[in-house]
């Protein structure tokens, strides 16, 4: 009888170890989709970076969204259907392919995101969102849409 008692004490019970491992596996499988979400990388501006990246002759696409569904690209009003072609042509002439987006306070968030998405699809490498006041009517070239 003594041999059986000694033998049973030397065996390792792995049932609890397997339970813990399976619980951790399920936990990591359930939380992994939250970690792999896509997003937009946001970097804060710095003075040194602005001086290093500053090029006066490079063309930037300045997009302004007004609350009356008017889209202004570098001072020229555009219809939404003409926007992708005009932006592609502008970005093709640009080295840095920077797009600056600003909007009225009343513009819905979805419209700004749609323009950002369209700009990325047109080849924009950098997007900047700027809080500005509405451009003056004299700054926008008159053009019937």
Give the model confidence (pLDDT) of 70-102 as tens digits: 888 888 888 888 888 888 888 888 888 888 888
- pLDDT level of residue 24 (50, 70, 90 thresholds): very high
Report DSSP state, residue 11.
S
Compute the distance between CA of residue 23 and CA of residue 18 in angstroms, rounded to an integer: 8
- Residue 140 clears pLDDT 80, i.e. is over it: no
- pLDDT level of residue 145 (50, 70, 90 thresholds): very low
Per-residue pLDDT at 125: 86
**Residue ranges of the alpha helices (H) in the chain?**
2-10, 15-35, 47-53, 83-92, 109-121
Interacting residues of 94 by C-beta distance below 8 A, sequence separation 6+: 58, 59, 60, 61
Between 44-53, 61-70, 111-120, the lowest mean confidence (pLDDT) is in: 44-53
Per-residue pLDDT at 89: 87
Read off the pTM. Answer: 0.55
């Amino acid at each position: 009888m003594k041999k059986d008692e000694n033998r049973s004490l030397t065996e390792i019970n792995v049932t609890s170890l397997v339970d813990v491992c399976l619980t951790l596996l399920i936990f990591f499988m359930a939380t992994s989709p939250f970690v792999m979400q896509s997003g937009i990388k946001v970097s804060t501006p710095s003075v040194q970076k602005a001086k290093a990246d500053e090029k006066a002759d490079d063309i930037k696409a300045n997009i302004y969204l007004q609350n009356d569904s008017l889209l202004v690209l570098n001072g020229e009003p555009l219809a939404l259907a003409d926007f992708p072609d005009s932006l592609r042509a502008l970005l093709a002439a640009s080295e840095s392919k920077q797009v600056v987006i600003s909007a009225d306070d009343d513009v819905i968030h979805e419209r700004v995101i749609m323009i950002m998405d369209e700009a990325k699809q047109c080849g924009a490498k950098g997007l900047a969102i700027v809080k500005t006041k509405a451009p003056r009517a004299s700054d926008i070239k008159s053009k019937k849409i």
